[in-house]
Structure 1
Amino acid sequence: MRVTSVIRAVVLLLTLLGTWFLMQTYFQHSWRAISLRSWLGASKKPSSEKLPRHKCGNQKSCPQNYFAFKIISGAANVVGPSICFEDLVLMSSVKNNIGRGLNIALVNGTTGKLLKTDAFDMYSGDVTKLQTFLQGIKRGTLVLTASYDDAATKMNAKVRAYFTELGSSHVGTLGFRDNWVFLGAKGLMNKSPFEKHIKNDKETNKYEGWPELLEMEGCAPRKMD
């Protein structure tokens, strides 16, 4: 009897130990699994919402009755300029409608409709062609301009006067291989706020013989008073 009791006690003890071991293993594993899932759930960053894309890739959107634009000058004589207006690329290397010198896009200042694009090689005799082009611009037309390589070698006083009438403040001092981006309008009463100019200076040039490219974006009112 005494031996049987001992055996029963041992069996009971082993059963209890086995049950305890199983429970401990199961709950510990479950706790780890739950804790891992909880931890992952808690630490998982919420999926970032897509940032709104503005017209022409600009940093901000334009209010109603304003046109979004971005003008980028050429980089040295390697990378061509680009002109974007209301999310439409009007001139670029991809469109194959740019050239060294001055690249100009004309847009209706009321509707935003593209009227014309042209490139003028200022190394050659395009200055006469440019004069005729500028002289024919109608009142209320937006004029978007980007330089590439060199825009001033053969730019004469008459061409500079035309751009001054369009609202330019820097065309008078535009020199050899300077970079220049500009948005003006025919009939503008004041100087345009949309213009950037950087001099060709061997001390500060980013590229050998050329300054860094210029990039300008903004919102042009439908009627530039």
Structure 2
Amino acid sequence: MMVRAACNNFMKLGGFIFATVCAWYFGSLLASIIPEDSLASAFDDLQNIAEKPKLKAPLPKRLKCDHWSPCSPGSYAYRILSGGGQKSIAKICFEDQLLMSKESKNVGRGINVAIVDYNTGKLVDAKSFDMWQGAFSRPLADFVQKAPQKSLLLMVTYDDGSSRLMEDAKKAIADLGSKEIRNLKFRSSWAFIAAKGFELPADTQREMINHSDAKKNRYNGWPAEVQIEGCIPKN
């Protein structure tokens, strides 16, 4: 009995060794037949199957003039940003076109005015009027008064827009609907949009001003910038 049991154990051990050798042999043979890159690709595929699919959120769509919400079809988009400090330059954007800006090289110290044809949405003219140095109040008044009928006038300050601003220009701008033009102080930040020859919608944000105490703002002597933006229905 003991001899038979020993023989059985020996046969089991021999069978195990034989199976191990065969597995190693056939594994080596298979590896030599199948290219290494195919094995790596199969392994990667198994990993990809195991991974959960990743959902990527679509990038937010940029809106005209960097609006937060889109204008309805058939409307003009505008954004008027005053200067705020020496490095924060004023901008006037209309229908995603920078009509006046540092990039356009046509914005300057004082009051900046862009005139747009309401029927076409195209720029008619744009000029900067220095209210710190030189006599430009009368030219500003003339520029505003001679704007064609059915025009949009977009105005904004950079640096000082008040020191040499006289009654002639104040009256011309007040006649367009400005309620703050006579309240401008040294380096006040001011933005304004007006219509000539037609009426803007009643809910249009037309004007904003800031001449806060210089000691309470972040520009060390300059009031912070202001901006107005909105949508104007086309004809």
Fold in common (TM above 0.5): yes
Structure 1 unaligned blocks of 5 or more: 20-31
* Corresponding residue number in structure 2 for 1:217: 229
Map residues 149-168 of structure 1 onto 2, 5 A cutoff.
Answer: 149-168=159-178
* Corresponding residue number in structure 1 for 2:90: 81
Contact kept, 8 Å, 2:151 with 2:195, in 1: the verdict is yes
Matched, 1:92 2:101: yes
The one-letter code sitting in structure 1 at the alignment partner of 2:9 is V
* Corresponding residue number in structure 1 for 2:117: 108
**CA distance in structure 2 between the partners assigned to 1:77 and 1:113 by the alignment:** 30
Relative distance call for 1:35 and 1:194 in structure 2 (3 A) is: farther
CA distances 1:45-97 after superposition (whole Å, capped 9, x unpaired): 31221222211121121112321011111122333211111011111111111
The one-letter code sitting in structure 2 at the alignment partner of 1:5 is N
Matched, 1:10 2:22: no
Contact kept, 8 Å, 1:71 with 1:216, in 2: the verdict is yes
- Any idea what SS the aligned residue of 1:90 has? strand
CA distances 1:106-162 after superposition (whole Å, capped 9, x unpaired): 001121011000000001211121111112112221011110001111112221222
How many residues align? The count is: 211
Map residues 15-164 of structure 1 onto 2, 5 A cutoff.
Answer: 37-38=48-49, 40=51, 42=52, 44-123=53-132, 124-164=134-174
TM value normalised by structure 1: 0.81
CA distances 1:141-190 after superposition (whole Å, capped 9, x unpaired): 10111100011111122212221222222112111110001111113557
**Alpha carbon RMSD of aligned pairs, Å?**
2.8
**CA distance in structure 2 between the partners assigned to 1:179 and 1:164 by the alignment:** 17
Contact kept, 8 Å, 1:177 with 1:200, in 2: the verdict is no
Q: Kindly, what percent of the aligned residue pairs are identical?
A: 30
How far off is 1:39 after superposition? 5.1
**CA distance in structure 1 between the partners assigned to 2:21 and 2:164 by the alignment:** 98
* Corresponding residue number in structure 2 for 1:29: none
